[in-house]
Amino acid sequence: MKILVAIKRVQDYNIKVQPKSDGSDVDMEGVKMGVNPFDENAIEEAIRLKEKGVASEIVGVSIGSSLNQDVLRQGLAMGVDKAILVETDKVLQPLAIAKLLKKVVEKEKPDLILLGKLALDSDAGQTGQMLAGLLNCSQGTFASSIEIKDSEVFITREIDGGTESIVTKLPVVLTADLRLNEPRFVKLPNLMMARKKSIETIKADDLGVDISSKLKTISVSEPPPRKEGIKVKDIKELLQKLNDIEGIKI
């Protein structure tokens, strides 16, 4: 079984980004970048499936500029077998990314496609679902547990009320939740060896899909600061305060 894992390059999760002074976009100048944390869970799960003998090959794919080679090499150091860079300097939205991934899936013909459930930069959580729709195949989002027996996939997924268990068949698109696993620590020798491995590069424009932006950013700004809270001495005072708020009647 072949697994394809999408790997996105985003800002480090410990860093708080700021809007540009003109409010045109987020200021990424000099910001530390790395693998999207949810994508690390997807990579780790693919490697574990290979270690169990369920999978035979893992293909990592990233979409973006040549700078994305660093996250692909991180994947190679973790245990990915093959790396593909779909190169473009355009800022892409989820539908465009899904269209490009569809072309890579058609080329590689994986049985299982793994993505993070969302990316830290956009926080959209749409690409996996769109990709499944374009491929007309099953999907399992926000997966916290994955088990594969023969051609059936048993998935536990996070929902608002707790967890949900579903069963589907391969091929399938799965998006990984942070609870799925704990990504392994990458040793320095593995990183050094990953630098020597080749990365297949495909120009996004050569794939023949429309990746033009469907949305326009008007402005980027920080949310307004929260107002200072107040303390109440008992439930009676709390109810009175809530009654005083316009639109709330208790």
The pTM score is 0.86
- Coil, strand or helix at 139: strand
Name the domain count of the chain.
1
226 or 189, which is more confident: 189
In a domain, 86, yes or no: yes
In a domain, 248, yes or no: no
Average pLDDT over residues 58-82: 96
Strand partners, 153: 148, 168
The whole domain housing 26 covers 2-220
CA 181 to chain centroid, in Å, comes to 15
In a domain, 230, yes or no: no
Mean pLDDT rounded to a whole number for the chain: 92
In a domain, 29, yes or no: yes
Question: Can you give the CATH number for the domain in which 27 is found?
Answer: 3.40.50.620
**pLDDT (tens digit, 9 = 90+) per residue, 170-212?**
999 999 999 999 999 999 999 999 999 999 999 999 999 999 9
Q: SS3 breakdown of the chain: % helix, strand, coil, rounded to 5?
A: 30, 30, 40
**pLDDT (tens digit, 9 = 90+) per residue, 91-102?**
899 999 999 999
In a domain, 250, yes or no: no
Secondary structure element (H or E) that encloses residue 182, with its range = none
- State the residue for tokens 């049985």: 111
pLDDT tier for residue 250 given thresholds of 50, 70 and 90: low
In a domain, 9, yes or no: yes
Both tokens assigned to 61:
């794919």
In a domain, 104, yes or no: yes
pLDDT at 23: 87
In a domain, 129, yes or no: yes
pLDDT at 246 over 70: no
